[in-house]
Structure 1
Amino acid sequence: MTDWSQAKTVLTAGFAQIPKGTTLYEVSSVVGCVLIIDVEKEVICDASFTFVMDKTSDFLAGLLRGRSVAGGMTEITQVVQERFLAPGQGAVLQAIRAAVERFLETKRQS
């Protein structure tokens, strides 16, 4: 387990509704995304998602680790669209976007 207490990181979260009518919606109506971001480098250090199966969260976290949020969502959107071929892809991207935007907005205000 990583000790984040000494790192210059923040934890941010975003949530999105899963579309009705999908199998995923029957399990949970909302997907949550938690990102740990290096404040100075503006890079995702770690991520977690509110999926029933840990493998899904682990896979998405692996796609996001090391990705920059400084330039917005272009790189992240591309890799998720190419590699996460599952129902709820749009909701996952929306949850990530909400978390990234919360981080960037807070950084602009400080």
Structure 2
Amino acid sequence: MEGWAQKNTVLTAGFAQIPKGTTLYEVSTIVGCVLIIDADHDLICDASFTFVMEKTSEFLVALLVGKSIANGMKEITPVVQERFLGPGQGAVLQAIRAAVDRYHEKKNLS
């Protein structure tokens, strides 16, 4: 069992459309992002993406785990822009942002 399962965690998801004309669009029209967040510390514990190639997902997960979302995307955006140079980078960021925003909306309602 994952270590995050013993914490106060929540699962949130976000999706974004992949731009037409990219190779990635030919495989899938959307990218999905699932984040497991430690709600006590606003830290990403784990993540998953809907990419066909597992290495892409593994790489993005490694970039995100341990990142704080206390200030939205401030800690995440520069890392993804600098290190993920694949097609659909904007869609990936949009999917992550949608998941983070959903988390903050729910947290602010509590």
1:97 counterpart residue number: 97
Amino acid across the alignment from 1:19: P
TM-score, reference length from structure 2: 0.96
Deviation of the 1:3 alpha carbon: 5.7
TM-score, reference length from structure 1: 0.96
Deviation beyond 6 Å, 4+ runs, structure 1: none
2:55 counterpart residue number: 55
- Length, aligned pairs only: 110
Give identity over the alignment, percent: 74
Structure 1 alignment gaps of length 5 or more: none
Counterpart CA distance in 2 for 1:100 and 1:109 is 14
Counterpart CA distance in 2 for 1:5 and 1:88 is 31
Deviation of the 1:7 alpha carbon: 1.8
2:36 counterpart residue number: 36
Counterpart CA distance in 1 for 2:66 and 2:5 is 19
Structure 2 alignment gaps of length 5 or more: none
Task: Quote the RMSD (CA, aligned, Å).
Answer: 1.0
